């Protein structure tokens, strides 16, 4: 329950709906109780007048008595109809206020969770898998909504009915009340248990189903591998097994479901039998009238649904509390990558790493070890090294996806931590190593990083990324859709779209993380040449495992296992006869061999 108190701020926000809901619940119950009393009066009236009717047996007045009774019954019937109509109207209003409130809160909560997700650092996304993040925002929020809507509605209904009906029943006849109500707590308890079983089994089914769909998804996205290795039969067997599991769980659930209604009906029936029997005894004793029995049967029926719902409501509230707990855990995760000074200014682009080390907080891997280097305004630097040497980590640090564990990074002489994050990242054009393109048009993908960007800028960016000619060959040019239901680009084309996206926003600092790995060295040269113009007055960091990418750079840093082993210009490093030269010659030779073949 403590976890659910987080939602009180939303209940407060929509208090007008909540208060209206409470009012409508009470009014609708008034219109439910009045008809029961009308039934009692009608039956008593008929019963008394029937005696009169028989007294007048054989007299002419008898038919008058009959018309009187019929007239009165008709009036009662009409009154009851009106009450039922009014009750219906107020029940409609109850849902319109309470359920509508829960939908509003669901919407707000989803937005809150999503907004919170987005500002959390990358390390958060490495710790939690995407499935978990989706579950919080969809399943868990839905469960919380069940508490805010149906649970609150039925809870209020039960409370108000209890306080209105039971005191009245007691005032009529305490003994009859007691007997009539005895089965109800059992009803409530059994619903609670049965409902918990149903929920648990439904969850198992849900899990089995999601396992099944993951399997199918993988089977079809990997269909090329499955076909070429002739594993169709094996794949079918696995599917069959997963399917069987789902079927068995569903059958188990339907067994419990089939027991559910008979159980409720049996307990309600027991209530009615007790009411009629004890009521009959009380009538014989002269304590109550026939009408009271009828009235009580109606009350018992009126109370059964809310009492049934009590068990249901309890389990909804428990599940909602568990869900809200998980949501709260995420909402409490803090973003430690923030800025105190929040400096917003145009960058010139000088970057300085001073004795920077980084241990990744989640894996404990020391990716950088005491690194220092300088890049002047508008200069370009190449960072060369084998896989796993820490190159991408440097890019992560420049974009401030992580903060160094030791040392400091300065941008224009100011600590990188002092800049406002949106302003800093807004002036960096980052081409990540693993390209990500949205299922959207090529133009939208390129325009992604900047609000109201003109088509001219998009064209220029793709020109500079050596992409324009490729695009002109696509059926719909820039309006060609990518991804699902669109076309699939080759690795090199994807990388170039990613480059175009980074330069289209006209950044002061350009970070190219191994972004030409999917093209051959010849194309790489062509692309680098067309990038030359773009790089002119921007600070550019070219990260690559190929020395051929480094030629253009003013300065070269060679990384190995998180340490800088050499730095200087191409000429200086060649003269030095060290690791760079060795790498250079090895890679050039490999290339020659390839071109000879
Ligand atoms: P490179 O780009 O040179 O191939 P990286 O900078 O990506 O190398 O990785 C350096 C080391 O840090 C590797 O051992 C890698 O496993 C580890 N690493 C990279 N990214 C992360 C991360 N986000 N969390 C934890 N460890 C990481
Ligand atoms: Mg890398």
Residue that is written with structure tokens 């039969």 in the block: 233
Rounded to a whole number of angstroms, the CA Rg of the chain reads 38
Q: Which of 371, 374, 382, 351 is nearest to 570 (CA)?
A: 382
Specify the pLDDT at position 183.
85
- The residue ranking higher by pLDDT, 410 or 528, is 410
pLDDT > 80? residue 594: no
The DSSP string of 125-154 is HHHS-HHHHHHIIIIIHHHHHHIIIIIHHH
Phi and psi at residue 542, to the nearest 5°:
-100, 115
- The residue ranking higher by pLDDT, 163 or 210, is 163
Separation of CA 291 and ligand 1 centre (Å): 82
Identify whether the C-beta of residue 466 lies closer than 8 Å to the C-beta of residue 526.
yes
Separation of CA 161 and ligand 1 centre (Å): 63
Q: Which of 190, 183, 189, 188 is nearest to 273 (CA)?
A: 183
Q: Is 434 in the pocket of ligand 1 (CB under 6 A)?
A: no
Summarize the confidence of residues 531-555 as an average pLDDT. 87
CA 343 to chain centre: 33
The rounded distance, in Å, linking the Cα atoms of 187 and 183 is: 6
Q: Is 387 in the pocket of ligand 1 (CB under 6 A)?
A: yes
pLDDT > 70? residue 452: yes
Identify whether the C-beta of residue 429 lies closer than 8 Å to the C-beta of residue 540.
no
Range among 54-68, 79-93, 477-491, 508-522 rated most confident = 79-93
Q: Is 548 in the pocket of ligand 1 (CB under 6 A)?
A: no
Specify the pLDDT at position 382.
94
- The residue ranking higher by pLDDT, 512 or 213, is 512
For the packed helices 290-332 and 15-55, what is the interaxial angle rounded to 10 degrees?
Answer: 170
Q: Which of 451, 418, 446 is nearest to 431 (CA)?
A: 446
Q: Is 392 in the pocket of ligand 1 (CB under 6 A)?
A: yes
Other Cβ atoms closer than 10 A to 446:
31
Q: Is 213 in the pocket of ligand 1 (CB under 6 A)?
A: no
Specify the pLDDT at position 143.
92
Order of strands, sheet of 539-544, starting from the edge strand that comes earlier in the sequence: 428-431, 509-513, 539-544, 380-385, 555-560, 563-568
Q: Tens of pLDDT along 132-185?
A: 888 889 889 999 999 999 999 999 999 999 899 999 899 988 988 998 888 888
Give percent of the chain with pLDDT exceeding 70.
99
Task: Give the torsion sign (CA, 489, 432, 551, 466).
Answer: positive
Other Cβ atoms closer than 10 A to 178:
13
Confidence at 335, pLDDT banded by 50, 70, 90: confident
Nearest CA to ligand 1 atom 7: 392
Q: Is 215 in the pocket of ligand 1 (CB under 6 A)?
A: no
Coil, helix or strand at residue 434: coil
Atom of ligand 1 nearest to the CA of 391: 3
Separation of CA 394 and ligand 1 centre (Å): 10
Q: Tens of pLDDT along 548-561?
A: 888 778 999 999 99
Q: Which of 567, 541, 553 is nearest to 350 (CA)?
A: 541
Most ligand 1 atoms within 8 A of CB, residue of 360, 366, 511 to mutate: 360
The rounded distance, in Å, linking the Cα atoms of 319 and 146 is: 9
Tokens (6 digits) for 415 = 């600590």
The whole-model pTM stands at 0.81
Specify the pLDDT at position 414.
93
Phi and psi at residue 109, to the nearest 5°:
-65, -40
Range among 11-25, 238-252, 303-317 rated most confident = 11-25
Tell me which DSSP letter residue 7 carries: G
Separation of CA 558 and ligand 1 centre (Å): 16
The rounded distance, in Å, linking the Cα atoms of 299 and 578 is: 94
Length of the chain: 597
The rounded distance, in Å, linking the Cα atoms of 535 and 557 is: 18
pLDDT > 90? residue 188: no
Helix locations, 229-378, DSSP H: 232-284, 290-332
Q: Which of 409, 398, 338, 285 is nearest to 121 (CA)?
A: 338
Identify whether the C-beta of residue 555 lies closer than 8 Å to the C-beta of residue 375.
yes
Q: Which ligand is closest in space to the CA of residue 384?
A: 1
pLDDT > 70? residue 500: yes
Give percent of the chain with pLDDT exceeding 90.
53
Helix locations, 390-441, DSSP H: 391-398, 421-426
pLDDT > 80? residue 592: no
The rounded distance, in Å, linking the Cα atoms of 219 and 212 is: 10
Most ligand 1 atoms within 8 A of CB, residue of 356, 362, 388, 517 to mutate: 388
Summarize the confidence of residues 450-478 as an average pLDDT. 90
Most ligand 1 atoms within 8 A of CB, residue of 120, 122, 365 to mutate: 365
Atom of ligand 1 nearest to the CA of 360: 25
Q: Is 127 in the pocket of ligand 1 (CB under 6 A)?
A: no
Separation of CA 466 and ligand 2 centre (Å): 23
Summarize the confidence of residues 375-392 as an average pLDDT. 93
Identify whether the C-beta of residue 541 lies closer than 8 Å to the C-beta of residue 395.
yes
Residue that is written with structure tokens 């109850």 in the block: 94
Separation of CA 65 and ligand 2 centre (Å): 99
- The residue ranking higher by pLDDT, 483 or 11, is 11
The rounded distance, in Å, linking the Cα atoms of 568 and 513 is: 20
Atom of ligand 1 nearest to the CA of 386: 3
Specify the pLDDT at position 34.
92
Separation of CA 45 and ligand 1 centre (Å): 88
Identify whether the C-beta of residue 304 lies closer than 8 Å to the C-beta of residue 268.
yes
Please state, rounded to an integer, the average pLDDT across all residues of the chain: 89
Q: Is 432 in the pocket of ligand 1 (CB under 6 A)?
A: no
**Distant-in-sequence, close-in-space partners of 411: CB < 8 Å, separation ≥ 6:** 347, 349, 350, 351, 352, 419, 424
Q: Is 291 in the pocket of ligand 1 (CB under 6 A)?
A: no
Most ligand 1 atoms within 8 A of CB, residue of 127, 353, 367, 544 to mutate: 367
pLDDT > 80? residue 595: no
Separation of CA 576 and ligand 1 centre (Å): 29
Specify the pLDDT at position 208.
85
Provide the pairing of β-strand 539-544 with 406-411.
unpaired
Specify the pLDDT at position 568.
92
Specify the pLDDT at position 531.
86
Q: Is 363 in the pocket of ligand 1 (CB under 6 A)?
A: yes
Q: Which ligand is closest in space to the CA of residue 431?
A: 2
Identify whether the C-beta of residue 419 lies closer than 8 Å to the C-beta of residue 343.
yes
The rounded distance, in Å, linking the Cα atoms of 419 and 411 is: 9
Nearest CA to ligand 1 atom 1: 388
Q: Which of 183, 188, 191 is nearest to 259 (CA)?
A: 191
Summarize the confidence of residues 76-81 as an average pLDDT. 94
Most ligand 1 atoms within 8 A of CB, residue of 126, 357, 363 to mutate: 363
Specify the pLDDT at position 498.
94
Strand partners, 380: 540
The rounded distance, in Å, linking the Cα atoms of 440 and 421 is: 27
Q: Is 391 in the pocket of ligand 1 (CB under 6 A)?
A: yes
- Give the side-chain half-sphere CA count within 13 A for 377: 5
Q: Is 126 in the pocket of ligand 1 (CB under 6 A)?
A: yes
Separation of CA 395 and ligand 2 centre (Å): 9
Tell me which DSSP letter residue 547 carries: G
């Amino acid at each position: 329950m403590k976890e659910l108190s987080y939602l009180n701020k939303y209940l407060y926000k929509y208090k007008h709906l909540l208060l209206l809901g409470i009012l409508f619940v009470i009014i609708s119950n008034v219109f439910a109780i009045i008809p029961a009393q009308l039934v009692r009066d009608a039956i008593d009236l008929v019963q008394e007048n029937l005696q009169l009717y028989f007294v007048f047996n054989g007299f002419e007045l008898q038919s008058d008595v009959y018309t009187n009774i019929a007239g009165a019954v008709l009036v009662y019937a009409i009154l009851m109809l009106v009450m039922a109509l009014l009750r219906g109207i107020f029940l409609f209003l109850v849902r319109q206020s309470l359920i509508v409130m829960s939908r509003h809160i669901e919407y707000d909560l989803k937005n809150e969770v999503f907004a919170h997700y987005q500002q959390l650092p990358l390390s958060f996304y490495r710790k939690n898998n995407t499935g978990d993040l989706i579950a919080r925002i969809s399943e868990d929020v839905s469960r919380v909504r069940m508490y805010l809507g149906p649970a609150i509605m039925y809870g209020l209904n039960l409370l108000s009915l209890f306080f209105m009906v039971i005191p009245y029943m007691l005032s009529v006849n305490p003994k009859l009340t007691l007997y009539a109500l005895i089965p109800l707590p059992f009803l409530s308890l059994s619903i609670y248990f049965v409902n918990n079983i149903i929920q648990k089994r439904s969850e198992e089914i849900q899990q089995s189903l999601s396992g099944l769909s993951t399997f199918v998804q993988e089977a079809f996205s990997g269909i090329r591998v499955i076909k070429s290795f002739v594993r169709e039969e094996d794949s079918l067997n696995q599917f069959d097994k997963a399917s069987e599991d789902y079927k068995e769980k569903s059958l188990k659930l339907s067994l419990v479901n089939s027991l559910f209604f008979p159980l409720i009906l049996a307990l309600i029936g027991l209530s009615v039998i007790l009411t009629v029997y004890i009521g009959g005894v009380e009538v014989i004793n002269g304590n109550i009238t026939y009408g009271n029995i009828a009235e009580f049967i109606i009350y018992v029926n009126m109370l059964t649904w809310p009492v049934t719902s009590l068990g249901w409501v309890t389990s909804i509230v428990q599940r909602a509390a568990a869900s809200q707990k998980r949501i709260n855990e995420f909402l409490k995760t803090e973003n430690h990558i923030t800025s105190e000074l929040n400096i917003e200014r145009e960058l010139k682009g000088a970057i300085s790493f001073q004795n920077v080390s980084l241990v990744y907080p989640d894996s404990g891997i020391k990716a950088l070890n005491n690194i220092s280097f300088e890049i002047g305004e508008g200069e370009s630097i190449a960072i060369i090294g084998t896989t796993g040497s820490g190159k991408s980590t440097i890019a992560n640090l420049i974009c401030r996806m992580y903060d160094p564990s030791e040392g400091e990074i300065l941008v224009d002489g100011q600590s990188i931590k002092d800049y406002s994050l949106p302003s800093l990242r807004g002036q960096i054009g980052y081409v990540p190593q693993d390209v990500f393109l949205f299922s959207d048009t090529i133009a939208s993908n390129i325009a992604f990083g900047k609000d109201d960007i003109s088509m001219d800028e998009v064209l220029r960016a793709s020109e500079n990324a050596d992409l324009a000619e490729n695009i002109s060959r696509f059926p719909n040019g820039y309006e060609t859709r990518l991804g699902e239901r669109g076309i699939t680009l080759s690795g090199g084309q994807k990388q170039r779209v990613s480059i175009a996206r980074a330069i289209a926003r006209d950044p002061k600092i350009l970070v190219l993380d191994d972004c030409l790995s999917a093209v051959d060295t010849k194309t790489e040269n062509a692309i680098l040449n067309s990038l030359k113009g773009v790089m002119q007055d921007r600070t550019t960091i070219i990260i690559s495992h190929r020395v051929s990418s480094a030629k253009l750079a003013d300065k070269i840093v060679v990384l190995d296992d998180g340490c800088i082993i050499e730095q200087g210009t191409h000429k200086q490093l060649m003269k030095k006869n060290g690791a760079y030269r060795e790498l250079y010659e090895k890679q050039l030779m490999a290339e020659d061999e390839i071109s000879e073949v």
